[in-house]
Amino acid sequence: MSILIDQNIKVIVQGLTGKEGLFHTEQMINYGTSIVGGVTPGKGGQFYLGVPIFNTVEEAVQKTGGNVSVIFVPSPFASDAILESVFSDIELIVCITEGIPVSDIIKVKSFLKKRKSCLIGPNCPGIISPEKSKVGIMPNSVFRKKGKIGIISRSGTLTYEAADQIIKYGHGISTAIGIGGDTIIGMSMKDIIKLFLDDQETECIVMIGEIGGSLEIEAAEYIKKLNKKKPIIGFIAGQTAPKGKIMGHAGAIIGKKIETAQVKMKIMEKSGIHIVKSPSNIGITVYEIIH
């Protein structure tokens, strides 16, 4: 198994006809993802990359049976694009768009509580399950081997780095998920950890966090309460970041002492998570723990 996506999903691309949408749709198709439709208002009836374009998500779902959407819509309109997928009962929504106003995402999250849709992102690289499917912008060349290591990360670049190391040490990836680095996001680290722990294919989990926020702490506290656990390797980026300074992502800002890398790592370690202090040690640590 894999989590959230597999080879049977049917993907709709919102914003397919734009520059970013076209490029990454082609990459997803090359990876083997079933792209069944695109959505760009005013371009319904056209075809791009052999994919039919629809004016609305509702029409795309009705005509194609699409159950997953990936969003490349510009930030001023991205929250509306998410809501359009939610109203159409899309099971999984992956929002790649960055720069969406926090106030917009707060409203989206509130609405999601009443619906069945799950949201990954915004400002994220998406999800990939090697040899099955990809929804997002993760590089095809890195995720070339399926296996039993799950990756959850707030950093896109470190997701790719971790996967590359793991594969070089002879293992493969079950599913890798970049949840996004914004202050307010859809599914949390805790949500994804739960799915990985229930997934029979995933035997080991790599959790890559950042300074700022409490996502890693919430996940660690959840893990600590469990009787049966899988080995989890944890890393926190931003260990040298000064307090109050934004580092990269909008969510990566230290506001309280508990949001520093050092405090997070201590809490995670007390929860039974194997901490690595350098991202260069992720692959070797995975290898040593599962052998």
Enzyme catalytic residues:
249
Q: Are 19 and 62 in contact (CB under 8 A)?
A: no
The tally of CA atoms less than 13 A away on the side-chain side of residue 166 is 30
DSSP assignment of 140-159, as one string? TTT---EEEEEEEES-HHHH
DSSP 243: T
Question: Alpha helices of the chain — where are they, by DSSP H?
Answer: 19-31, 57-64, 75-87, 102-112, 156-168, 189-198, 215-224, 261-270, 282-289
DSSP 227: S
- 134 SS3 class: strand
